[in-house]
Structure 1
């Protein structure tokens, strides 16, 4: 009788442990499934490969597809110092995008790196990104992007990527050709 009681107790404890482990596995698989359909659209600043032009990038870094993407410009900027080229006047910022697949990225040129006043507290753009996932859940993020975040970053010469090395070495070859005696 005592052996049966001990075996019943051990079996009950094992069943409870098994149930808890299965519940934890179910919660984890549910979170992984949600991650696979959740988009994450972000905005960030980056220079071009030659480090001469500042760009704002809008990218879906999530694994899910975003839809009805709207990017509102809360603090505008005149591209390349031209009054008629407000960032907010670009078609993407006016109309948005109906679909933004995973890893999709848009790039908008802001200004020459040498023409930006990095010392000013007014040298930034602010964007509000609104979008939905496939289950129509709404997401909203606000990005305050000061230009002085880019100043002082180190760059390798030649650039690290092959796409950056091509124009770099073409410029170097062009310089050498110009210096050849004719």
Structure 2
């Protein structure tokens, strides 16, 4: 058995004497390429058949519309009595078909309006919920900003507070007098 050097480990180069391995690798590459090509062809065929089906459906609808129009344009007064019943029946079928189409269209329109109204109501609910949340947040903020409520002070506490405030005022008055005396003196 021969060892493969690290520099020659790619699939394109093989050590001498491995013809079977070369052939297997080449066959595998051909198979994968063939499979990829087959997948691509199938994908292209599917696209083509879809477009053809859409074209055929459109043509069928146009032919049916032309047939209905031709049926409705037939003047029943000029037709013999035997054929008249068939054409009356045919025109009646076309009229029923038109009525069904109108009913389906009206139903779709009604469903779209209901859906639109429902979406608008949901939007309004969301907006209302957001407003409520904002109001709650602002109320919380207002509550936080309010100063804490003062407790009622006892008579003793009030008198102490008044004395403190009086001392502060007196100190301020004495300081002002000293400043005036210094400036005047």
**TM-score normalized by the length of structure 1:** 0.28
Give the number of the structure whose residues are more often strand, by fraction: 1
**TM-score normalized by the length of structure 2:** 0.28
Give the number of the structure whose residues are more often helix, by fraction: 2
Q: Which has the higher contact order (CA 8 A, sep 6+)?
A: 1
